[in-house]
Amino acid sequence: MKITKVVAAVLLGGTVGGAIADEGKENWPESLSIATGSQGATYYIYGSGWGNLVGEATGSTFGAEVTGGPVQNVTLVQMGESEFGMVTTGPAFQAWNGESDLAPGVEHKDIRAVFPMYQTALQVISLEGSDIDSISDLDGKTVGIGPAGGTGDMYFPQLFEKLDIEVDTRNGGAADQASQVQDGLIDAFAFASGIPVSAFSQLEAQADVNIFSFSEEEMSKFLDDYPELSQGTIPASAYTSLEEDVPAISLWNFAITHKDMSESFVYEVTKTVMESQERMLQVHGSARETIPENAEHNSFIPWHPGAVRWFEENGYEIPEDLRG
């Protein structure tokens, strides 16, 4: 999808006005949940942050729900068990097409995009003295891959298999698996999350570590099989242990809701997050990518009408086939 910045005065002239936020407030939920991820993971931190921010703006109470991550989140929203959720494009695409492991055969056609979040990078951390500083070094090792149903749980086993690397994988929360690396209970922790991973930062503050991802040569062996994956970068500035940028696999993340959520409420959610980047950056550094231009990375989830209204009111054109 291509999001085009439109400079036409008619779009910027405020024809919609401030009435949108007041329209239909009686349909706004008093309390609601955001399906996030495990404690210590970027999803949980980021989700708690934007929930508090939007709660201030709307008067509603947002609760960050601890979940297994995007694979579970997209189903929770589809089934109406969570009002909002955070998803990566890979699990969302599979669920959209009825290929979710949690709800096989159920096409998740009721989800709607609300705002772009940031890139998720596939990252690995190990202790410096472990002699593990590359993906190939994980062969024969025990590796944590985050919670069951998370993006890491979905992709790492498949990619290890593509590279003929035999790994004993374990599921668990981000903070817990980082502690297991430090205690020698697992050899490494491979996680899919925004940059930086809070659990990685905490571990490197307590021990000497290696942080790495798939090499460009390794990526070339499987990227063609995964159109939802792309080559990204972990900047050296993300972690004190890095001396240079590290190539990494990435996916994009979006906040979603159900198609039946109040249009004026979703408008206010989109407006609040898209117009509050400085405050979002205080929540998590990954919010540097939480900008309206990055809506273009959504190629299949229809945008909720409330989100469409905000984007177009502010000069961003949404393609007809992505208007929810």
Q: Average pLDDT, stretch 106-121? A: 96
pLDDT digits (tens, 9 = 90+) for 296-323: 889 899 999 999 999 999 999 999 999 9
Element at 146 (helix H, strand E): none
Q: Do 49 and 81 lie in a common domain?
A: yes
Q: To the nearest 10°, the Cα dihedral for 193, 197, 198, 204?
A: 150
* Domain final residue, candidates 194, 222, 251: 251
Q: Average pLDDT, stretch 93-102? A: 92
pLDDT digits (tens, 9 = 90+) for 138-183: 999 999 999 987 889 989 999 999 999 999 999 999 999 999 999 9
Q: Average pLDDT, stretch 5-26? A: 39
For residue 156, the enclosing domain spans 120-251
What CATH number did the domain enclosing 237 receive? 3.40.190.10
Q: Do 241 and 214 lie in a common domain?
A: yes
Please, is 173 exposed, middle or buried when counting C-beta atoms within 10 Å of its C-beta (0-12, 13-18, 19+)?
Answer: buried
Q: Do 44 and 112 lie in a common domain?
A: yes
C-alpha distance from residue 27 to each of 23, 42, 163, 260 (Å): 9, 31, 51, 11
Question: What total number of domains does the chain contain?
Answer: 2
pLDDT digits (tens, 9 = 90+) for 26-67: 789 999 999 999 887 889 999 999 999 999 999 999 999 999
The mean pLDDT value of the chain amounts to: 90
Q: Do 242 and 125 lie in a common domain?
A: yes
Rounded CA-CA distance 157/268 in Å is 39
Q: Average pLDDT, stretch 246-272? A: 96
Which pLDDT band, with edges at 50, 70 and 90, does 6 fall under?
A: very low
CA-nearest of 189, 187, 138, 206 to 167 is: 138
Q: What is the pLDDT of residue 8?
A: 29
